[in-house]
Amino acid sequence: MALIIFDFDGVLADTLDDLIQFGQEVCDELDVKHVVKKDDLSNLEIMSFASFGRACEVPENLVDEFVQSCLKRFAEKKSPPAIFNGLSDIVRKFSVNNTLAIVTTNSSQNVNAFLVEHGLSRCIHAVYGVDSPGTKAQKISIARNLFSADTKQEAVFMVGDSLSDIRAAKEAAVTSIAVTWGHQSLEHLLGGAPDYVVNFPDDLIEIIEK
């Protein structure tokens, strides 16, 4: 039995187009003259809405407003984001014999709406969103301490699509798995020296269940 912690945006949820669209809308509202593009996300050292705003040239005094406005747009979206192909089955399969959690810079409200939409609410034991206190590494540690009966024996994995996910996993002393279908390039991910790299959701099974 393992504790498997997923990032949300770019790992489970296909939110790239929404992030670019919402980022542009908020920049326009804040009168920030910036054209939002994928590179604003793919080159981030820390994957968060605040860092995204800074990459979009949002002044520091407006970054919090940028974050809240982006989160609000996700919450008001008529339907939650799509889930990447194959991930629904993977989550359901893992949930049978493992404990699953989500650690994300998105809001818990948005994540829970997504889980309901895709019928996965009962598969996930806890969601630690931007509204939960602590850094991503601290939230990983909280989940590990809560759900892993013996951290010396029970495997703990962090599945992420960003350099900051990998670094947070290392800081929390858990196994890092980088996925290449998310927001950041393989070259960027390798800069964090992840324990594993996977190109397809099914590849997770071989790593986690071996």
- Tell me how far apart the alpha carbons of residues 207 and 69 are, in angstroms, rounded to a whole number: 38
Nearest-angstrom CA–CA distance, 101 and 104: 10
> What's residue 53's pLDDT?
97
pLDDT, residue 210, reads 76
Q: What is the pLDDT along the chain (210 residues), one digit of tens a residue?
A: 899 999 999 999 999 999 999 999 999 999 999 999 999 998 888 899 999 999 999 999 999 999 999 999 999 988 889 999 999 999 999 999 999 999 999 999 999 999 999 999 999 999 999 999 999 999 999 999 998 765 454 799 999 999 999 999 999 999 999 999 998 989 999 999 999 999 999 999 999 987
38 vs 157: CA distance, rounded Å: 27
pLDDT of amino acid 150: 55
What pTM, to 2 d.p., does this model score? Answer: 0.89
